[in-house]
Structure 1
Amino acid sequence: MSGDIESAVPLADDSAYANVFSFMGLPLSRDIDQPALDAVVMGIPYDLATSGRAGARSGPNGIRQASANLRWEEQRWPWDFQLASRLRAIDYGDIRFSAGDSDDMLLQVEAHAARITGAGKTLVSLGGDHFVTLALLRGHVAAHGKLALIHFDAHTDTYSAHEKYDHGSMFYRAPQEGLIDTSRSVQVGIRTEYDHADHAFQVINADQANEQSAQAVIDAIKARVGDTPAYLSFDIDCLDPAFAPGTGTPVVGGLSTSRALQILRGIADLNIVGFDVVEVAPAYDHAEVTALAGASLALEFLYMKASRG
């Protein structure tokens, strides 16, 4: 018999189709006490707070599967270093909670987020609908205190009249709970209605984000956030449906993936302590376009963290 039989499956490889079990082929582990571990990727398969089309519970798996298309490039353009040379990460797997129990989801996600951030690791979360961010903020505040919010979305998600479990209410509730400082927070890509007269967040709407230079948007975000520890939440429907059709509440007129990535790279030097990408719904996707965008955004954030040393 010719050739050698592999004695073990490698922890990570560059295949786009073999052993696609984790984000970017990272080791599947919950050992957050590993030496030199920097970042943890965690999935939250929840969509019970969705007001439009359901399906974001399959987002974490869809993003992981699409990330296999990004494995081959050891050094992602335009960064000038290989990610593995500066950052060590694991895939924590998905959070489990009692089926249909939103309160249990909130408790489980907050507890795991607090455990990971309390150990000094940076958490990258894959949703799930956007309601999961409320629990993630609670878990991050335990380690970092009140946070600035950098929020990419088509919707402000500050709607007070919504139900207790609703992916449009998190950023109404989070300031009330003392989780985020609205005076240091900014929302980018907004293109749906909200109360302009009573809105504490700075808004860079979709027209502004598209028509101004990327640098102008970057400068505005930096001026607002300053040196405050910040949480970055990216709802995939911030992107135009041409770039992200696979989501529950698509809204035309959004950002391109190129524009979004340019802005993220430009704010890499801010003190961003956590990240999530949410609302990827693979059932409405085409050729994994949306899942690939989600995977690319999560990978970009890992490079952003690595670029800060």
Structure 2
Amino acid sequence: MKLSLNSFVVVALFAQFASARDTQIPLEWDKKVTWTEKYGPQSDQPFSGLLSFSHLPYTRCLENEATKFDIAVLGMPFDTGVSYRPGARFGPFAIRSGSRRQRATNGYTMSWGNSPFNQGVKILDCGDVPISPFDNALAVDQIEVAYSTLLDRPSAEGMGERDITRLISKDGIEHPRIVTLGGDHTIVWPILRSLHKVYGPISVIHFDAHLDTWEPKTRYPGQTTDQSRVTHGTFFYLAKEEGLISNQSIHAGIRCKLEGLADIENDESVGFQLVTADDIDDLGIPEIVRRIRQRVGDTPVYLSLDIDVIDPGLAPATGTPEPGGWTTRELKRILRGLVGLNFVGADIVEVAPAYDSADITGIAAADFVHDFLSLFLAEKPPSVGPPAYREEL
């Protein structure tokens, strides 16, 4: 039988590969050997394993009452308060999926100059709150009870001098912090109820394309039932009615269409100042940071980030997209400028993965959550960050 030159080359390459393989990793087909003996502990690849945020330990914290933590990542899959495109109930899944390449062993970032996972605090993924998709009144109560359950739990390790929750809480006790994965923005109303029980009125730093302070009867005329008042565009108005927020709150990234100046006047009455999306060009990032810091001062601060603050060209998977938003890089720089404020919690909301492309929105959202963790734990502005922030502080 004659073999062509190409056949000889294929045979030679196969023999070379087989020889190298056998030399490096013996097959040992005739010998019993366990996985651990040969390869060590079973670890996950970035694309494998159970789905938790950044491969953190995953615990159903609501039912495991003995579980303690300093920071919890908590999913709230709720989207029946939206006014346009639904789908944010799948947001917690998308954000966790977007975090797969992140993990405790490689959490260091040059922009922060540290890793949030090696700061001596316990960070857990506490799973999702089982929220009703059929009854919004029930859902709001479930969110409030779940958040309060975890907020009232004793911290695990404690953050030492870095922790401000003990100093500013009503009871003088150190409370854990919760990073919430939404879900539509309605979830913030019951969250603020929970936080108010511990800290009193809260100042909100609100990154969003929309005001979310609309008076229900004005914004949605004819829809005046108690339940119809609760939407992802009215929850701050409801929070103000209940005295949950201070008069030192601020929006950033606003660019939505309005009915007129009356919307701005109503927004001010709810307690907000605003920074528009265009201000990043006219004022610059350092001035935006200065205005946010000056507005909230040393009050208890809650950070709420609607993913639609980012331009839909970079984060398309959201319920109410608005052109002309900020870039992920711009917002990340602003977040680094907020180090040292009295943060008592944070969320990222309105990620609706059905509208995503190549998971880019989920990946961006997961990266912002990583920034939240660093923001909670940093004691001073990043030494390798933009010098304008360090001079400002």
TM-score, with normalisation over the residues of structure 2?
Answer: 0.74
Matches of 1:138 and 1:178 in 2, distance apart? 9
Correspondences of 1:239-258 after superposition (within 5 Å): 239-258=310-329
1:167 matched residue in structure 2: 232
Q: What is the number of equivalent residue pairs in this alignment?
A: 304
> Which of 367, 371, 378 is the aligned partner of 1:300?
371
Matches of 1:210 and 1:16 in 2, distance apart? 37
Matches of 1:250 and 1:20 in 2, distance apart? 31
User: Quick check: 1:51 aligned with 2:83?
Assistant: yes
Question: C-alpha displacement at 1:260, in angstroms?
Answer: 0.6
2:223 matched residue in structure 1: none
> Which of 333, 346, 357 is the aligned partner of 1:275?
346
2:51 matched residue in structure 1: 21
1:149 matched residue in structure 2: 204
User: Quick check: 1:134 aligned with 2:185?
Assistant: no
* CA shift digits 1:86-117 (9 cap, x unpaired): 13211111111333111121111111111222
List structure 1 runs of 4+ shifted beyond 6 angstroms: none
User: Quick check: 1:191 aligned with 2:259?
Assistant: no
Is the 1:63–1:295 Cα contact (8 Å) retained in structure 2? yes
Question: C-alpha displacement at 1:210, in angstroms?
Answer: 4.1
Residue identity matched to 2:370: L
Residue identity matched to 1:106: V
2:137 matched residue in structure 1: 103
Is the 2:112–2:336 Cα contact (8 Å) retained in structure 1? no
Q: Bigger CA drift: 115-124 or 80-89? A: 80-89
User: Quick check: 1:40 aligned with 2:72?
Assistant: yes
Question: C-alpha displacement at 1:230, in angstroms?
Answer: 0.7
* CA shift digits 1:109-160 (9 cap, x unpaired): 1111112222211000000111111111111112121100100000001111
Question: C-alpha displacement at 1:58, in angstroms?
Answer: 0.4
Question: C-alpha displacement at 1:193, in angstroms?
Answer: 3.5
Q: Bigger CA drift: 227-236 or 130-139? A: 130-139
1:212 matched residue in structure 2: 283
Is the 1:56–1:280 Cα contact (8 Å) retained in structure 2? yes
Matches of 1:211 and 1:289 in 2, distance apart? 28
SS at match of 2:311: coil
User: Quick check: 1:121 aligned with 2:154?
Assistant: no
* CA shift digits 1:244-285 (9 cap, x unpaired): 101011000111101111111100210011000000000000
Correspondences of 1:86-97 after superposition (within 5 Å): 86=119, 87-97=121-131
Matches of 2:125 and 2:338 in 1, distance apart? 25
User: Quick check: 1:81 aligned with 2:149?
Assistant: no
Q: Bigger CA drift: 299-308 or 208-217? A: 208-217
Is the 2:307–2:365 Cα contact (8 Å) retained in structure 1? yes
SS at match of 1:197: helix
2:300 matched residue in structure 1: 229
Question: C-alpha displacement at 1:76, in angstroms?
Answer: 2.1
Matches of 1:77 and 1:172 in 2, distance apart? 39
Residue identity matched to 1:21: L
Matches of 2:347 and 2:34 in 1, distance apart? 41
Is the 2:78–2:133 Cα contact (8 Å) retained in structure 1? no
Matches of 1:98 and 1:55 in 2, distance apart? 15
Which 5+ residue runs of structure 2 have no aligned equivalent?
1-26, 154-174, 221-227, 381-393
Is the 1:46–1:57 Cα contact (8 Å) retained in structure 2? yes
TM-score, with normalisation over the residues of structure 1?
Answer: 0.93
Is the 2:71–2:122 Cα contact (8 Å) retained in structure 1? yes
Question: C-alpha displacement at 1:164, in angstroms?
Answer: 1.9
Which 5+ residue runs of structure 1 have no aligned equivalent?
none
Residue identity matched to 1:68: R
- State which structure, 1 or 2, has the greater radius of gyration over its C-alpha atoms: 2
Matches of 1:286 and 1:27 in 2, distance apart? 28
Is the 1:42–1:125 Cα contact (8 Å) retained in structure 2? yes
Matches of 2:301 and 2:66 in 1, distance apart? 24
SS at match of 2:339: coil
User: Quick check: 1:61 aligned with 2:61?
Assistant: no
Measured at CA, do residues 250 and 62 of structure 1 come closer, stay the same or move farther in structure 2, by a change above 3 Å?
Answer: same
* CA shift digits 1:67-100 (9 cap, x unpaired): 0122363312312222222132111111113331
Matches of 2:113 and 2:65 in 1, distance apart? 28
Identity between Structure 1 and Structure 2 (%): 37
Is the 1:52–1:249 Cα contact (8 Å) retained in structure 2? yes
Question: C-alpha displacement at 1:226, in angstroms?
Answer: 0.2
Question: C-alpha displacement at 1:211, in angstroms?
Answer: 3.6
